[in-house]
Amino acid sequence: MFFLPAHYASHLRDAADHLALVVDRPHSLRSPALTNARLLKDSTGSVKNSVGPKKGEESLCLHSDAVTSAVPRDAMPLQVYYLGPPGTYTHSIALHFIQDGDSARSSSTIRQSLEDAASAWCEDEYRHQRSVVPLALMPYENSTYGLVLDTQSTLIGPRHGGANVSLGSNGQLASPSELSPVVVAEATRAVRHALLGSRRARDRLRRKDGLQALHDLEELDLSRVTKCLSRPFALTALYFVECFVTANAFQGFSVASTALGARLAASTTSSQNTWSTSACRPSSSIPLSAQHAAGNGEDTRRRSGHANVGAASDLQNGGHATRPIESDKDEVVVAIGTEQAAEELDLVVLQRNIQDRDDNETRFLLVAPNEQVARAYRSAHPQPLEGSRAMLLLRTDSHSTNLTSLLGALCATANSRPDQAPVRIRKVDRKAFPLGDETRALRGSTEEERDDASSCETAQAKQGSAWPSVYFVEVESAVSSARLDDDLQRRLKASHDLQGVRVLGVWQVS
Ligand SMILES: O=C(O)C(=O)Cc1ccccc1
């Protein structure tokens, strides 16, 4: 595979009538596809496109026998870790994203996906080889629900979020220096929620003849549902859930991922419920994450484009079973998730498209566990010359931080110097650490971390209700990501107002 500037695409379109033309989504995580034409070797020559074009931005992906694959296939394959088990939204984005030779692997939590990527890198190091570029794919924000808090905590890094040494699923240790997340790409995808259940659940929900329809949902009487499992973003942001879960007084349960909810719903096939409170919590206590084993499902993209899905591990083995969730023989448990989860788990789609809005989207970030991996990714995926975005991180001890001077310094420095590219501040998010569990997590195991934590708490005590916070500042520029990176680093060094700001990643956008 090789890359051409986008304007060559129209010439190729005219000239190569034996080539099938495909429009590839420009903001696919496969970064070169963002603005460049891609030529892919394909034995069928048929149009292949699983993701459509977006808002008129097009890059062309041409398939033909006649074209030799010129993207360096000697480049290391990507290994993309995602929040599992297979069938999550993140999984489906990972599948869209990976190509020949790349693989997607399931992790139990969002944080674990980064730790797994870090330990895959360490494992290679240990074997004195470089076989893969391990990355974590993380949902960052949903247009209806908002920010994904576990992703934010993970991006802040182990120093601020918990343990400073972590163990990947492969048992490999990743040290703090190996876990320093760097964002390398992003993708935004529409969310299509489906209501999923077992065949038994479907049979129990079927309306009996003569029963007055309570709502217009096919022949199913959803008022008979007793429990609904999903990730908080689906449980709390749906009018559907409000109507059928809350109004009918059935309980919503928050689980670590939508596919985990589906798996638990699938396992409720007998009157005796088999899942435990360690796997899911009533949604009133959102946000909570089940720290369950999510299976070691691995998808390896084959030339045919199909994925091999690995077997899922037994959920009950990974958790710390406490007490079973109360259930009786009339239990009807459903889940909200992807239609792919129904396929993975042999569940029935009880209702599709239950999202509030069709323009509901989730934005995902592709994250390298450290700068070395980010460099390996970038060298295999040349960045285009224009259009980039960066995420900056600022940790403060209070919420009275002078954002005006911070943001002002970011822009003023840039705009007042002709040799620097204008930078536009796109958005600012904040993750607060109120005195509580998260602040306690700041008490790391090293002296430095304990000092950090206690200085936060002292500052809080002095300032009354002030919370230590981390700000995520996203900036955009028309220049290349390499140039923006250079510019930002220089600005951070030059401005006193920007002390303490760290660049969490610079990547291309179309
Ligand atoms: O649970 C899932 O299916 C996920 O992929 C996680 C997630 C969390 C928030 C928004 C989108 C996806």
Measured CA to CA, the distance from residue 272 to residue 274 in angstroms comes to 6
48-79 pLDDT tens trace: 233 333 333 222 222 222 222 334 546 789 99
**268 within 8 A of 302, measured Cβ to Cβ:** no
CATH number, domain with residue 255: 3.40.190.10
Q: Is the pLDDT of residue 316 over 70?
A: no
Mark whether 199 and 331 lie in a shared domain: yes
For residue 110, the one-letter residue type is I
pLDDT in tens, 476-492: 999 999 999 998 998 89
Same domain, 415 and 330: no
Q: Is 289 in the pocket of ligand 1 (CB under 6 A)?
A: no
Residue 388 shares a structural domain with residue 377:
no
pLDDT tens, residue by residue, 355-411: 988 899 999 999 999 999 999 999 888 767 788 999 999 887 765 667 888 888 887
Span 317-343, average pLDDT: 68
User: What integer pLDDT is reported at residue 208 of this predicted model?
Assistant: 63
Whether pLDDT at 151 is above 80: yes
Say yes or no: CB of residue 106 within 6 Å of ligand 1: no
Q: Average pLDDT of the chain? A: 70
Domain span at residue 412 reads 383-433+467-509
Q: Give the separation between CA 333 and CA 349, rounded to whole angstroms.
A: 13
Residue 505 region by backbone torsions, left for phi larger than 0, else alpha for psi between -120 and 50, else beta: left
Cβ-based neighbours of 22, under 8 Å, separated by 6 or more: 47, 48, 49, 60, 61, 62, 63
Q: Mean pLDDT across the stretch 88-102?
A: 93
CATH number at residue 391: 3.30.70.60
Supply the pLDDT for residue 148.
Answer: 96
- On the question of pLDDT at 31 being above 60, the answer is no
Averaged pLDDT for residues 138-144? 95
Identify whether 296 is part of a domain: no
Q: Bin 56: left if φ > 0, else alpha if -120 < ψ < 50, else beta.
A: left
Residues 406, 476, single domain; the answer is yes
Distance 257 CA to ligand 1 centre (A): 6
Same domain, 345 and 416: no
User: Is the residue at 64 inside a domain?
Assistant: no
Q: Is the CB of 364 under 6 A from ligand 1?
A: no
339 located within any domain: yes
185/145 same-domain check: yes
Statement to judge: residues 232 and 259 lie in one domain: yes
In whole angstroms, what is the distance from residue 90 CA to residue 410 CA?
32
Q: For ligand 1, say whether the CB of 362 is within 6 Å of any of its atoms.
A: yes
Residue 159 structure tokens: 């120093």
Locus of tokens 């730790």: 115
352, part of any domain? yes
Domain membership flag for residue 290: no
Mark whether 505 and 388 lie in a shared domain.
Answer: yes
Same domain, 149 and 197: no
284-309 burial by CB neighbour count: b if 16+ within 10 A, else e? eebebbbbbbbbbbbbbbeeeeebeb
484: in domain:
yes
Give the torsion sign (CA, 41, 42, 47, 48): negative
Report H helices in 306-432: 315-318, 339-345, 371-380, 403-416
> Measured in angstroms, how far is the CA atom of residue 281 from the centroid of ligand 1?
17
What domain count does the chain have?
3
φ/ψ bin of 78: left (φ > 0), alpha (ψ from -120 to 50), beta (otherwise): beta
Q: Which residue has the higher pLDDT, 155 or 417?
A: 155
- Do 425 and 366 share a structural domain? no
For residue 79, the SS3 value is: strand
The rounded distance, in Å, linking the Cα atoms of 12 and 8 is 6
Q: Is the pLDDT of residue 297 over 50?
A: yes
Residue of 85 and 25 predicted with greater confidence: 85
Radius of gyration from C-alpha coordinates of the chain: 24
- Closest C-alpha to ligand 1, atom 3: 88
Is residue 336's pLDDT more than 70?
yes
178 secondary structure, DSSP code: G
Same domain, 201 and 258: yes
263-267, 294-298, 361-365: segment of lowest average pLDDT: 294-298
> Could you write out the three-class secondary structure of 100-129?
CCCEEEEECCHHHHHHHHHHHHHHHHHCCC
Q: Is residue 139's pLDDT more than 70?
A: yes
The pLDDT assigned to 280 comes to 58
Mean pLDDT for the stretch of residues 232-250 = 74
55 found inside a domain: no
Quick one: pLDDT band at residue 441, thresholds 50, 70, 90? very low
Q: What is the pLDDT of residue 296?
A: 45
Please name the residue whose Cα sits nearest to atom 8 of ligand 1.
139
- Counting residues of the chain whose pLDDT is more than 70, the rounded percentage is 56
Verify that 348 and 254 share a domain, yes or no.
Answer: yes
Peptide bond just before 72 cis, omega within 30 deg: no
